[in-house]
Amino acid sequence: MAILGVQLVVTLLTATLMHRLAPHCSFARWLLCNGSLFRYKQPSEEELRALAGRQRPRGRKDRWANGYSEEKTLCVPRDAPFQLQTCPLTAVDALVLRFFLEYQWFVDFAVYSGGVYLFTEAYYYVLGPARETNIAVFWCLLTIAFSIKVFLTVTRLYFSAKDQGERSVCLTFAFLFLLLAMLVQVVPEETLELGLEPGLASMTQNLEPLLKMQGWDWMLPLVKLVIRVGLSVLGSMLGAFLTFPGLRLAQTHRDALTMSEDRPMLQFLLHTSFLSPLFILWLWAKPIARNFLYRAPLGGTPFFLLSDSAFDSLRLWVLVALCLLRLAVIRPHLQAYLCLAKARVEQLRREAGRIEACEIQRRVATLGAWAQPSHYPQF
């Protein structure tokens, strides 16, 4: 350990545990398949045949006796009174989900990365090594890189779909968020604490002597422009990535509120989680957070409630608490999505006519449609 260093040993140990424990102990798999979520089973073909008044021919003689050699498509009334049975969501059911293995690996990696970060922070707090590189930063950067990779993989589905609607929506929101990102950079630091201007000033102070020595001082404004454009493009990409997940979150939030009408505390947590991005924005809005919470106006004399460092730490802790709250209320959102099968059947019963049995089974099969682009709201 003295040769390799404490942080490197912890990194190797974490990678080994992640590789060995993944098939047996997975936080991502437990999050979905711990028995608290239930899904609706598809009605069997025999049940639908009984409702339609048609029995399956037992053999070739029965088929010829009924006057046809090949069985026709089974159609049942749309208002057929079939019952949906429920069962707990298991790992076998989750394996049919697209990108389930990628989801499991990424969530587990994020959990282990968080553990390494907490250990490193405690290690620096207790011992305070001066010459060691904080390897937790590398883990955090890997987590961000893998999350962007997941976003790219999911967004690629919208561009490869036959329907061009999802692609058009992604491109529209990408240009919209590009415009918003450029507008946000125009907002002064006295209104929104982005830290962009102090960062650019520090970079200019460090780069200016080097560029002047090479005779490239004319590149300094160009570097600033490239950084601003790069940040705008990054914000545009994130906005495009989160367009359809945001629409799905809004829909499941509405359904979760409907399912928890008799639980006001859960509804309060759901509302708080849904509005958490707005709360975070308020914490970095200087007229609201710093000028009101940090420096409370009492009479004509401002009163400092917290020190500057304590206020920054408070904002970060609030951000962590809101992330944990979002994780805590993920189960009602998932259950609301799984209950879409019942809502589809109730909507089907309000329609007239007949429908194919396989179409009923397809509408009930919510798991097979999880994260499919065609099941997002259409535009």
pLDDT (tens digit per residue) in 243-261: 888 988 999 999 999 988 8
pLDDT value, residue 69: 44
333-341 average pLDDT score: 87
Query: Cα angle at 150 between 144 and 153, to 5 degrees?
Result: 145
Assess whether 234 and 167 both reside in one domain: yes
**Confidence tier at 374 by pLDDT (50, 70, 90):** very low
pLDDT, tens digit, for every residue of 125-159?
888 776 777 888 899 999 999 999 999 988 888 88
Q: Is residue 212 part of a domain?
A: yes
Contact between 287 and 363 (Cβ < 8 Å):
no
On whether both 6 and 140 belong to a single domain, the answer is yes
Show the domain range for 210. Answer: 163-241
- pLDDT, residue 223, reads 84
Total number of domains constituting the chain: 2
Residue 279 lies in a domain: no
Amino acid at 348: L
According to the model, what pLDDT value does residue 273 have? 93
Residue 263 lies in a domain: no
User: Which residues, other chains included, contact 133 with Cβ-Cβ below 8 Å and sequence gap of 6+?
Assistant: 7
Q: Is 116 exposed, middle or buried (0-12, 13-18, 19+ CB in 10 A)?
A: buried
Interstrand relation of 75-77 and 354-356 (parallel, antiparallel or unpaired)? antiparallel
Which residues does residue 109 pair with via DSSP β-bridges, in sequence order? none
The domain boundary, picked from 202, 218, 241, lies at 241
pLDDT, tens digit, for every residue of 229-243? 999 999 999 999 998
What pLDDT sits at residue 65?
A: 52
**In residues, how long is the chain?**
379
Tens of pLDDT, residues 30-68: 988 888 888 888 777 777 777 666 666 555 555 555 544
**In a shared domain, residues 27 and 106:** yes
Confirm whether 269 is domain-assigned. no
**Is residue 366 in some structural domain?**
no
The reply to whether 137 and 198 lie within a common domain is no
Same domain as 111, residue 150: yes
The DSSP H or E segment spanning 296 is strand 295-298
User: Does residue 143 lie within any of the structural domains?
Assistant: yes
Is residue 179 scored above 50 in pLDDT? yes
pLDDT higher than 50, residue 228? yes
